[in-house]
Structures are given as structure tokens and as C-alpha cells.
A = this chain, B = another copy of it.
Amino acid sequence: MPETPVAAPASRTVVHHVRVEFGDCDPARIVWFPNYFRWIDAASQHFFTTCGVPPWHELEKTTGILGTPLVDTQARFVKTASYGDLLQIEARVSAWRRSSFTQSYRVLRAQPDGTGAPDLIMECEEVRIFAAHRDGDDRAIRAVPIPESIRALCT
């Protein structure tokens, strides 16, 4: 990513809530890790819809944008979670570039008694792009410049 990031000092944070289900856990009785990425992807989309960005299928009609596929992700798993746990996923955009952006997440679990600081379960930092289909190939994608209107809604 050679593009120069623009700092997002007062970046807006949107919280997405997840309840861990029995089927999200593996034979070691803890969350099977690919499920964290499922939830983070949902948190990413909720971030945009909460900020007022139209859902992708509406955006596609006016801009060709299909979604925000992942270019790069880094995640650190701090504590385990198991079924019955209620998780909060904080999502924000920590940097905007011309055609890519960095989205950052913290997955937290409130203490069962509701007091004290929540546990940090995992954190994740992603680079994503806004993507459209390539001409003539509806199963390949290309990055498009990030619309100024979307950026304005999200900051």
C-alpha cells in the first residue's frame, strides 16, 4: 500500500453486538477462530450502514460498487470466548487513502456482573478497498477511488 494515509484523529466508532452460539465453538469449547472474521465482516458493514452509506446492492446501481473486499488483515487473539458470551465489536476507519482504507476493530466482552473494564478478546486491523466488477467479467473485481460522499458520511 504505497498510498499516503490521511490521519483520522476523531474517527467515528460504531459498536456491533454478537452473542456467541454453541455452534460457533469447536471441540475445545472455545470460539472457532474463523467465526471472528465472520463477525468482523458484519461489524464492517454495520459501520457503513450506521454511518448512512446505502447497502451495497443500492450503491451498485449508482456507482458500480459491490462491496469492500479485504486486501490485508492482521489479528491478535488475546482471550478466548465461549458460548453464551456477549461480545461488543468496536469498528472504525483509522485511515483513508485514495482507493483503500484501514478499518480497525476491538472485540470486547463485558464482565458477567456488568462492572469493571471489559475483557479484550481480540483486535484486528484490515486494509480494504471499494470494489467494482472488471469490465466483462462478473467474477473478477477492481478497486475504485473512494467516493468523497462515503468518506464524508463516515468521519
Contacts and interface: CB of A to CB of B under 8 A. Distances in A.
Interface of A: 19, 21-23, 25-30, 32-35, 37-38, 41-42, 45, 49, 55-57, 66-67, 69-77, 80, 82-84, 131, 133, 138-141
Given A25-B27, A30-B141, A82-B139, 20 more contacts: A21-B38, A21-B41, A21-B42, A23-B42, A26-B67, A28-B67, A28-B69, A28-B131, A28-B141, A29-B139, A33-B69, A34-B35, A49-B84, A55-B83, A57-B138, A70-B77, A71-B76, A72-B76, A73-B75, A80-B139
A33 B41 contact: yes
Q: Quick one: which of A25, A55, A71 has the most chain B CB within 10 A?
A: A25
A47 to B, nearest CB: 12
Nearest to A16: B19
Contact of A27 (B34, B67, B74, B75): B67
Nearest to A134: B80
Contact of A23 (B21, B29, B34, B73): B34
Q: Which 10 A-B pairs have the closest CB atoms?
A: A34-B37, A82-B139, A28-B66, A21-B42, A27-B29, A34-B38, A23-B32, A29-B139, A74-B74, A33-B70
Interface SS of chain A: mixed
